[in-house]
A and B are shown apart, each in its own frame.
Chain A
């Protein structure tokens, strides 16, 4: 049964929820007795199907942050570009930010269509060896809002994992929305019968960010998701005219560096603010190709290298390493 069946009432808690069949919203629903009997709470068969489907993906990386606007999508896209710069590697991006899908624009493929074939949905190809799937491709207009409650968002994520024909991949990078909610629980749940290398956590230096990011770290520990490391974005701005550095988002409580010490995590790198990063994203271009000599690009490359090294220490089922 679908997590939220078509004939379910508006506040359906989801057929696999603890409250399935017993919540106030269930009154009058045709599925109420079935849900209340517990029949719908058996493990979702999709989990095993997804495990099968993704067995051809060597490395899976989640990009997380408790906080919005710290550069998760920017980082995900550029991580993918950097990994795909090796033409022998196959890389894919999955955008599970259902309400705010940014990846199509950042990758320069806004407006592209997703096609269905016998083997499933085909993702959109940015390069020969770099593909992406996002709800953005399923919306007919840039003004379309996805006003969905949790269970429907979960259903979409399940479809992305189960029904997209990803093919053989070296890397699958999953870009997430801010927070610790349905999308995050679902991605961890649906990937539970596969091997996930770990999460890269993105933050900015200020405490208002870190206070949310610490919760995300707690979430990762709760669901036993390894943390590859932390990236501190927007870490200082060098004025192009006088070359003085300003801390626009001041690290009043020690920034990511202190947080990593406190939590015994690896600080992968500190990326400075560079207006050309945002500009490249708006234009759908890779910052790493547009301004390869910038200090920010250098830091990105170091971070990507660390992630590759981390992954290469994970051995996949067939003993193949990257």
Chain B
């Protein structure tokens, strides 16, 4: 690998760095990261996503970028752009793997080594917001990401949960992780927050209700908002389609758009 420019120089072009965390798996971190990125882009921002989930990198599929070849320039890995205007850039650790369909069965130290290199060596151009999508937990990957990103600046983290106690129970621990590692908590997002039946409009709280807001109160964090369970959001992510464009009038896109604006305001005032 060619020598990369110092980290400080690379991330100097990035205005805000936001981690997307959860203690819990499957709450929609990647979906929310992608949704927020699309919303921020729609509002005219230049956005980047850094996907450090080594075992399950989902973002390439959600942005329909397939399996691109990635290249090194003098400044580091060149991110993949989803459009000609370069308004949304993506770098996924999945791009560096020889066979993206094969399991990455690595112990912590090897993951740490790759992530450390990866986080430090992406040649981002000018970005308003860089969102960092992470795997669930509080372990090697998270420590590696933080150790490397903190050399620049991490504005903070958004925490994603679903409403039920089994989720918020894990997210509480992630909040402790943030406090112990000095990562400001920008806010909590409650995903899968109710399902409105498309046939009769009855709302069912499939994964319970209210847990995200309660968690925010309990931990003194800002509650950024709720995103409902929406099969169209799931299928757009599956098919790599821009949900915010395709379903711009839906309650879900209004919710995601609102959260992205609140987040941007918090970033611009802290």
User: Taking beta carbons and an 8 Å cutoff, which residues of A are in contact with B?
Assistant: 11-14, 17, 19, 23, 25, 66-70, 73, 98-100, 102, 105-106, 142-151, 153-154, 177-182, 184-185, 204, 206-208, 211-212, 214-216, 218-219, 222, 237, 239-242, 244, 246-250, 252-253, 273, 275, 278-279, 281-282
CB-CB under 8 A for A149 and B108, given A237-B204, A275-B208:
yes
State how many angstroms separate the Cβ of A172 from the closest Cβ of chain B.
22
State how many angstroms separate the Cβ of A54 from the closest Cβ of chain B.
23
Residues of B close to A73: CB separation below 8 A: 166
Is B26 located at the chain interface by the 8 A CB criterion?
Answer: yes
In the complex, the answer to whether B166 meets A146 with C-beta atoms within 8 Å is: no
In the complex, the answer to whether B202 meets A99 with C-beta atoms within 8 Å is: no
Q: Which of A100, A145, A208, A246 is B195 in contact with, Cβ under 8 Å?
A: A246
In the complex, the answer to whether B109 meets A19 with C-beta atoms within 8 Å is: yes
Residues of A close to B206: CB separation below 8 A: 237, 248, 273, 275, 278
Query: 16 interchain pairs (CB within 8 A)?
Result: A68-B56, A68-B136, A99-B137, A100-B23, A100-B136, A100-B170, A100-B173, A145-B173, A177-B137, A208-B58, A219-B105, A239-B202, A240-B204, A241-B197, A242-B197, A244-B197
In the complex, the answer to whether A143 meets B106 with C-beta atoms within 8 Å is: no
Among B71-79, B175-183, B259-267, the one that faces the other chain is B175-183
CB-CB under 8 A for A69 and B169, given A147-B138, A242-B200:
no
Residues of B in contact, count (CB < 8 Å): 62
A207's closest neighbor in chain B, by CB?
A: B238
In the complex, the answer to whether B239 meets A252 with C-beta atoms within 8 Å is: yes
Give residues 120-172 of B contacting A (CB, 8 Å). Answer: 135-140, 142-143, 162, 164-166, 169-170, 172
Residues of B close to A214: CB separation below 8 A: 101
Q: Which of B56, B143, B200, B237 is A179 in contact with, Cβ under 8 Å?
A: B56
7 pairs of A and B residues whose beta carbons are closest in the complex: A69-B26, A68-B25, A150-B108, A215-B103, A99-B137, A179-B55, A145-B176
In the complex, the answer to whether A105 meets B26 with C-beta atoms within 8 Å is: no
In the complex, the answer to whether B23 meets A99 with C-beta atoms within 8 Å is: yes
Q: In the bound complex, what is the Cα–Cα distance between A69 and B175 (angstroms)?
A: 19
CB-CB under 8 A for A212 and B112, given A150-B107, A278-B207:
no
In the complex, the answer to whether B102 meets A218 with C-beta atoms within 8 Å is: yes
Residues of A close to B231: CB separation below 8 A: 246-250
Residues of A close to B7: CB separation below 8 A: none
Q: In the bound complex, what is the Cα–Cα distance between A214 and B175 (angstroms)?
A: 31
State how many angstroms separate the Cβ of A258 from the closest Cβ of chain B.
14
In the complex, the answer to whether B139 meets A180 with C-beta atoms within 8 Å is: no
A212's closest neighbor in chain B, by CB?
A: B56
Residues of A close to B202: CB separation below 8 A: 239-242
Residues of A close to B27: CB separation below 8 A: 68-69
Q: In the bound complex, what is the Cα–Cα distance between A146 and B174 (angstroms)?
A: 9
Residues of A close to B102: CB separation below 8 A: 215, 218
CB-CB under 8 A for A244 and B199, given A147-B138, A181-B111, A215-B102:
yes
Q: Which of B23, B174, B208, B239 is A278 in contact with, Cβ under 8 Å?
A: B208
State how many angstroms separate the Cβ of B62 from the closest Cβ of chain A.
8
In the complex, the answer to whether A222 meets B103 with C-beta atoms within 8 Å is: yes
Interface residues as binary, B34-63 with A (CB distance below 8 Å gives 1, 0 otherwise): 000000000000000000000110100110
Residues of B close to A149: CB separation below 8 A: 108-109, 112, 139-140, 143
Q: Which of B24, B55, B143, B229 is A100 in contact with, Cβ under 8 Å?
A: B24
Q: Which of B111, B139, B175, B204 is A99 in contact with, Cβ under 8 Å?
A: B139
A99's closest neighbor in chain B, by CB?
A: B137
Residues of B close to A184: CB separation below 8 A: 105
Cross-chain pair count, CB within 8 angstroms: 219
Residues of B close to A249: CB separation below 8 A: 231, 234
Q: In the bound complex, what is the Cα–Cα distance between A14 and B109 (angstroms)?
A: 9
Besides A99-B173, A237-B206, A278-B207, 16 other CB < 8 A contacts?
A: A17-B107, A66-B55, A98-B139, A99-B138, A100-B137, A105-B166, A145-B138, A145-B173, A151-B109, A215-B104, A219-B103, A219-B105, A242-B199, A248-B206, A275-B204, A282-B166
In the complex, the answer to whether A178 meets B56 with C-beta atoms within 8 Å is: yes
Is B205 located at the chain interface by the 8 A CB criterion?
Answer: yes
Residues of A close to B164: CB separation below 8 A: 278-279, 281-282
Q: Which of A144, A150, A216, A275 is B139 in contact with, Cβ under 8 Å?
A: A150
Is B198 located at the chain interface by the 8 A CB criterion?
Answer: yes
State how many angstroms separate the Cβ of B22 from the closest Cβ of chain A.
9
B233's closest neighbor in chain A, by CB?
A: A248
Q: In the bound complex, what is the Cα–Cα distance between A147 and B178 (angstroms)?
A: 11
Is B64 located at the chain interface by the 8 A CB criterion?
Answer: no
Is B30 located at the chain interface by the 8 A CB criterion?
Answer: yes
Q: In the bound complex, what is the Cα–Cα distance between A282 and B161 (angstroms)?
A: 14
Q: In the bound complex, what is the Cα–Cα distance between A216 and B103 (angstroms)?
A: 7
Q: In the bound complex, what is the Cα–Cα distance between A145 and B23 (angstroms)?
A: 9
In the complex, the answer to whether B169 meets A248 with C-beta atoms within 8 Å is: no
Q: In the bound complex, what is the Cα–Cα distance between A215 and B24 (angstroms)?
A: 20
CB-CB under 8 A for A206 and B238, given A69-B26, A148-B139:
yes
Q: In the bound complex, what is the Cα–Cα distance between A204 and B139 (angstroms)?
A: 25
Residues of B close to A248: CB separation below 8 A: 195, 206, 229, 231, 234
